[in-house]
Amino acid sequence: MSDVMSELVLQLGIVLFAVRLGGALVKRLGIPPVLGELLSGVAVGPYALGGIAFPGFPHGVFPLGEGLAVSPELYAFATVASIILLFSSGLETDLGLFLRYSVAGGVIGMGGVIFSFVLGAFSGAILLDIPLLDPRCLFLGILSTATSVGITARILSDQKKMDSPEGVTILAAAVFDDVLGIIALLSGNPGDALPVSAVLGIAGKAFGIWLGFTALGLIFSKQLARFLKLFRHSFDFSILALGIALILAGFFEKQGLAMIIGAYIAGLSLSKTDIATVIQERIHGLYAFFVPVFFAVMGMMVNVREFFSAEVLVFGVIYTAAAICAKVIGCGGPALLLGFNRRGALRIGTGMVPRGEVALIIAGIGLASGILDTKLFSAVILMTLVTTLAAPPLLNSALRIKGNGTRKPVKGEDTATARWEFPSDEVADLVMNFLLRDLRAEGFYVQMMNISSGISHARKDDIALSINETGNVLSVETAGEDLPFVKTAVYEVILSLNESLAKLGESSDPKKLKRELAGMEGRARDGALSLITEDAIITSLAGNTKEEIIAELVDLLDRNGKLADRNTVLEDVLRREKTMSTGMEHGIALPHAKTGGVNDIAVAVGIKKDGVDFDALDGEKSRLFVLTVSPKKTSGPHVQFLSAVAALLQDGETREAMTSAVSRDEVMFLLRKGR
């Protein structure tokens, strides 16, 4: 047991590094991270680097398992990951849209199954020169019908399209596909026909369990949420909600249905409750840990060595082309007849393309039963690999096409948006933070997962608010009947802030606080000062005014590629300077701002030996300037850096030496010495 466990933890550690590296690399290319995670699995798997023997590992770090390409223990992690993925997908699904498009999803799923089965079976008959009813052809048809809802769900989630009409339709159709595929497998090996009554019985059981639990979950969702709230703390009831998903997934598997369908139903049942977004936030860490492991394990099950056979490549390429066309046409075609336009039909068709783990499982059954030989199995794996790897960029590109995917707007007529414009981004931040605080006090569950992008969600019972902060504008979207509540809440926040700020102005003196800061000594943290780089130092500033000096330093950062928007940065720094001058004492000035014009903290150092008037505390001209700009929505050492620089420049000898420096090297030497 200890050997098994040590091998498992070693494999998990390697997988975690591989998927993070792979995901980060493809993300730089504008490709969804899921593709990098899949390719990482292929690279470190037993058929590639993971199978190379070396001392202590005679069969490699990832030896081939019995019946599976990976060990049962690692596959178990992937199974749990697929449950977390589909549970989260269910939570993100807009229930109203799901119910509205469930019938369309069923029709689209049926179209995809019929086209895929026919094209898959015909491909086998033509390429193998065998009868259409040969077990191999029928099995190839069943394989072609599979849809990997996990991969599609991940892409939709990354693109924030899970609750779009196309997103819910794809998920509904994919679940429908899985149920039909499972019915086909349960009906016996292709060629061994069961009586019609037996097939109908299997189908009735599968659909009965699926639809029955979905209906029960939706009917008793509020009671289920109330039960979970008994455990008080949001971490407790979130973990127990995941526990419900695991139980339902296990039950579905015991009944011959896929685990992921049970997990999705559990998430869908809770999606309309007020704790849905909180559960999403609380399990986000588990999601980030497990889900990439799932995609890596799927990649590990691909044997790339089999692809070098010409026979396998020819059959695999044609079979793959038929599989892709079958889903795009079979699902996209019916979508055009069900209220979607060409954009929506393309998104749905490409979203149904990946076969992923579903096809791998079915192919394994075919190989074990003797229906598929090793060459056919390799061709099927090639189809699975190509459709799985091609789906993310295809769907990602389709989702980026501007415009709605439906012929008519899908938002309800009672949806309303309230909008407020404030003098600055900082005021909008303040109002939003206080609004979220007050909503929590009112008993709302607030999701903070997307706060870095300025988006939050708040729910209580049947009240749902979508709060969006963009620059200095705050907007709240909700049902029309809840708009008076929203406006009242924001009014109370603004009134409270006005009173608090008035009292703050009466009781404090910013200039006095600034003098205290200027005279304090602190420690110069090496990590903070390392943000200063040689290419962002200028020892002979040309400007003769405060505005010119700041513009010159901003331009220096812009030339070095450290700014995303030069004008925004300059505007934000000058606005901060108008609030109160950053001129300190002893010839030092520390202009700074938090701005939307940078992605990472950036620092520029400038020297003007003659000095300029910077409205310094001591009335002297400023000669040494350190400009600091940081992103608004990302945490970073902004204040720590300002404190570290101020502490370093308190030393008169260092300050005078830097002011007299004639080269960048000399300034960098003094900075390192000062640390």
Residue 524: its pLDDT value, please?
47
Distance, in Å, from the CA atom of 148 to the CA atom of 355, rounded to the nearest integer, reads 5
Residue 193: its pLDDT value, please?
47
The DSSP string of 117-153 is HHHHHHHHHHHHT--TTSHHHHHHHHHHH---HHHHH
Distances (CA, A) of 342 to 63, 329, 334, 398, 401: 46, 12, 11, 10, 11
| Residue 594 neighbours by CB under 8 Å, 6+ apart | 426, 572, 629, 630, 631, 632, 638
Select from 204, 183, 205 the least CA-distant residue to 194: 183
Does residue 638 have an active-site annotation?
no
Tokens of 526: 């090496």
Residue 555: its pLDDT value, please?
92
Annotated catalytic residue within 284, 457, 586, 592: 592
CATH class name, domain 415-507 = alpha beta
Average pLDDT, 10 consecutive residues per value, the chain (675 residues): 85 92 80 76 87 83 78 87 84 68 82 89 89 84 78 69 76 72 53 55 71 85 88 87 93 79 86 83 87 83 74 89 92 89 90 74 67 79 80 81 76 70 83 86 68 66 78 83 87 86 70 56 53 85 90 92 90 87 85 87 89 86 89 69 74 82 84 63
CATH of domain 515-674: 3.40.930.10
Give the sign of the dihedral formed by CA 362, CA 368, CA 371, CA 374.
positive
Residue 619: its pLDDT value, please?
83
| Residue 641 neighbours by CB under 8 Å, 6+ apart | 528, 529, 531, 601, 603, 628
Tokens of 416: 């309303």
Give the sign of the dihedral formed by CA 261, CA 265, CA 271, CA 276.
negative
Tokens of 242: 């995941």
Tokens of 650: 């308190």
Give the sign of the dihedral formed by CA 540, CA 544, CA 547, CA 551.
negative
Distance, in Å, from the CA atom of 186 to the CA atom of 184, rounded to the nearest integer, reads 6
The answer to whether 465 and 458 are in contact (CB under 8 A) is yes
CATH of domain 2-400: 1.20.1530.20
The distance in angstroms from the start CA to the end CA of the chain is 51
The DSSP string of 347-388 is HHHHHT---HHHHHHHHHHHHHHTSS-HHHHHHHHHHHHHHH
Query: Would you kindly state where each structural domain of the chain is located, as residue ranges?
Result: 2-400, 415-507, 515-674
Number of H helices, E strands in the chain: 26, 10
Q: How many other CB atoms sit within 10 Å of the CB of residue 278? A: 25
Q: Which residues are paired to 457 by β-bridges?
A: 447, 466
Distance, in Å, from the CA atom of 671 to the CA atom of 675, rounded to the nearest integer, reads 6
Tokens of 664: 């960048």
Distance, in Å, from the CA atom of 413 to the CA atom of 656, rounded to the nearest integer, reads 68
